[in-house]
Structure 1
Amino acid sequence: MALFDLPLAELRAYLPHRAEPEDFEAFWHATLSAAAEHDLATEFTPYDALLPRVHVHDVRFSGSGGQRVAGWFLTPAEVAGPLPCVVQFIGYGGGRGRPHEWLLWPAAGYAVFVMDSRGQGDGDTVDLPGSDSPQHGGVLTRGVLDPEQYYYRRLFTDAVRAVDAAASHPEVDGSRIIVAGASQGGGIAQAVAGLHAQVRGALIDLPFLTHFRRATEITDAHPYQELADFCATHRDRVEQVFHTLSYFDGVHFAARASAPALYSVALMDDVCPPSTVFAAYNHYAGPKELQIWPYNGHEGGATFQPPIHLRWLRDLLAA
């Protein structure tokens, strides 16, 4: 795809008004307080992934509503802790996958805690009691008429709890926890950076779930097209939809974050349009850097991005 969004000079200055609900803070305080009433009850069960130089654990912890959330926890076998830990979140439609997919971080000397996405991926974590099968797509509009019932209220709460679950392991240095992800995972990492004071840094690549209204107006790519299709069908509920989404917009979380962040954006990305990423980046309240990929779409930096992550984290954690 060719360039389709604002010119780069305008993107750098793009600072849209934040249409934030008055009770945003109260909503999230109540949400996280309700979750905290449930014991994390984190279980780390050794798992034979046939990777002798990596210790692998299957994880279960209590997320939103006390529901059990799956994950993986990997540490390098030959590096003594306590270790910095990357809490990794997953893209839209995906789940925690298999342990061998997450070897980058232990190879670099970090622990990694990979959180499953409820109701997505392989179905290791159900969304709500009684829903025993995963689905691909569609969760973007699940419960979108009510902030209390919206899917991402549960998923973001799981993600905040995942930081606590990772910090509970004796091999993890709780003062050096990094949240990371791309696309949906980047949107989740961005939200957690704004909600959890313990986060030391954030790797936010091509974040989804950000500047919703503009996204639905300038791209017809999925997943944002799910919202546009919903609004096209429910013509009389459009403002209700965007009122709900205002509690989950990454721009509002970015404005509350204080941890250093490394963002990336691709200027030909029609899935997470550049202006939506710049809207959050320009509002981000903590120290920040931005990696721009001018000729790429939603693949972003692909294999070029991890070395940038590793160098940035090395410098951050050495400071």
Structure 2
Amino acid sequence: MPLIDLPLQQLFEYEGINPRPDDFDAYWERALKELRATDPETELVQSQFQTPGAECFDLYFNGVRGARIHAKYLRPKQAADKHPVVLQFHGYTGNAGDWADKLALVSLGYSVLAMDVRGQGGLSEDVGGVKGNTLNGHIIRGLDDHPDNLLFRHIYLDTAQLARIALHLPECDPEQLFACGGSQGGALTIACAALEPRVKKLAPMYPFLCDYRRVWEMDLAKDAYEELRAYFRKFDPQHERETEIFKKLGYIDLQHLADRIQGEVMMAVGLVDTVCPPSTQFAAYNKITSKKRVEIFPDFGHEYLPGFWDKTIQFFLGQY
């Protein structure tokens, strides 16, 4: 097997190297206080897409700082009064995807909420000066401002707001609120369960946004992390602020939020992933203190992982 990172045993021992800011907990308590003060003003609009077995809606809600966030909401027409709800999160620059790919979960009697990340490829707003998408550069957005203005701070809070909306749906069984996604979606799955610990099960696949300094030291600030290299080249070409930059990125480094998770975790990692290196993912995984397991794909990178979606459904069903 080719080795692009630490040996597997060392991965299970790796604790991450990106610094954790001293005021990290106060930072996120302040953020959550802002979220609690944000009225979601939830709106449901019936979608043009409908099927015999599912009701489909465009759901809109307020995130922090005045952004209007969009999610696709599907609920089974015939299901128990209280049933599971699955939160889905998409990859970087993507969107919530097609309605049809969520129908397998609906067929099991589950409702689905799939969020468009603000400013990326869907309908959610990034209100940082303009309406519409901003698509790229989201990791570095806010690095030259107060840490409270980091864009991913707001995005992580959007996931928690979505979870809280789900918990207030009359059809939601609060003991069966689940979350899943890959890459950025895996990262947001972790963020959601960390900031709203009532998420009971989560299945992140090769999560992004973990251990930024490790990415840098592995010379993998490319692909999804390319903006880190671009930032230094354009705004700190001699790395005079390197320590400051990585410390500020620590506020949105998910390894430092992972110990807040209370739900059961099933994570998937490809050991030849050069987009989100395995060690960065284990930096978060190893800090999770709730019940957990990791599904290892030795010969796979940042790609389709055969069988993991089947295992995710079995995991949600309590069969795996």
Secondary structure, aligned partner of 1:117? coil
Task: State how 1:220-259 maps to structure 2 within 5 Å.
Answer: 220-233=221-234, 234=236, 235-259=239-263
* Distance (whole Å) between structure 2 residues aligned to residue 281 and residue 313 of structure 1: 19
**Which residue number in structure 1 is paired with residue 136 of structure 2?**
137
Q: Report deviation, 1:96.
A: 2.0
Structure 1 pair 203–239 and aligned structure 2 pair: CA distance change class (3 A): same
Q: Report deviation, 1:216.
A: 2.0
Gaps of 5+ in 1: none
**Which residue number in structure 1 is paired with residue 313 of structure 2?**
310
- How big is the alpha-carbon RMSD for the aligned residues of Structure 1 and Structure 2? 1.9
Q: Report deviation, 1:160.
A: 0.6
Task: State how 1:1-319 maps to structure 2 within 5 Å.
Answer: 2-16=2-16, 19-122=19-122, 124-128=123-127, 130-145=129-144, 146-218=146-218, 219-233=220-234, 234=236, 235-301=239-305, 303-315=306-318
**TM score, norm. by length of structure 2:** 0.92
* Aligned residue identity for 2:307: F
* Distance (whole Å) between structure 1 residues aligned to residue 189 and residue 112 of structure 2: 14
Is 2:184–2:209's contact at 8 Å kept on the other side of the alignment? yes
Is 1:35–1:63's contact at 8 Å kept on the other side of the alignment? yes
Q: Relative contact order (alpha carbons < 8 A, sep ≥ 6): 1 or 2 greater?
A: 2
* Distance (whole Å) between structure 1 residues aligned to residue 244 and residue 304 of structure 2: 33
Secondary structure, aligned partner of 1:261? strand
Output one character per residue of 1:103-132: Cα deviation in whole Å (capped at 9) or x when no partner: 23212321111111000003x111116422
* Distance (whole Å) between structure 2 residues aligned to residue 105 and residue 285 of structure 1: 28
**TM score, norm. by length of structure 1:** 0.93
Is 1:144–1:151's contact at 8 Å kept on the other side of the alignment? no
Structure 1 pair 249–316 and aligned structure 2 pair: CA distance change class (3 A): farther
* Aligned residue identity for 2:246: F
Secondary structure, aligned partner of 1:296? coil
Output one character per residue of 1:42-87: Cα deviation in whole Å (capped at 9) or x when no partner: 1122223142211111101111124221111111222233111111
Structure 1 pair 133–40 and aligned structure 2 pair: CA distance change class (3 A): closer
* Distance (whole Å) between structure 2 residues aligned to residue 110 and residue 294 of structure 1: 32
Q: Report deviation, 1:18.
A: 6.8
Is 1:231–1:237's contact at 8 Å kept on the other side of the alignment? no
Secondary structure, aligned partner of 1:137? coil
Percent identical:
32
* Aligned residue identity for 1:42: T
Is 1:39–1:66's contact at 8 Å kept on the other side of the alignment? no
Indicate the larger mover: 77-86 or 210-219.
77-86
* Distance (whole Å) between structure 2 residues aligned to residue 144 and residue 154 of structure 1: 14
* Distance (whole Å) between structure 1 residues aligned to residue 174 and residue 165 of structure 2: 10
Q: Report deviation, 1:16.
A: 3.5
Structure 1 pair 316–200 and aligned structure 2 pair: CA distance change class (3 A): farther
Gaps of 5+ in 2: none
Is 2:56–2:73's contact at 8 Å kept on the other side of the alignment? yes
Output one character per residue of 1:181-217: Cα deviation in whole Å (capped at 9) or x when no partner: 1111111111222221211111111000001110122
Indicate the larger mover: 213-222 or 128-137.
128-137
Secondary structure, aligned partner of 2:159? helix
* Distance (whole Å) between structure 2 residues aligned to residue 300 and residue 50 of structure 1: 28
Structure 1 pair 149–21 and aligned structure 2 pair: CA distance change class (3 A): same
Secondary structure, aligned partner of 2:215? helix
* Distance (whole Å) between structure 1 residues aligned to residue 160 and residue 58 of structure 2: 19
Indicate the larger mover: 92-101 or 258-267.
92-101
* Distance (whole Å) between structure 1 residues aligned to residue 298 and residue 176 of structure 2: 32
* Distance (whole Å) between structure 2 residues aligned to residue 298 and residue 309 of structure 1: 17
* Aligned residue identity for 2:75: T
* Distance (whole Å) between structure 1 residues aligned to residue 285 and residue 150 of structure 2: 25
Secondary structure, aligned partner of 2:312? helix
Q: Report deviation, 1:267.
A: 0.5
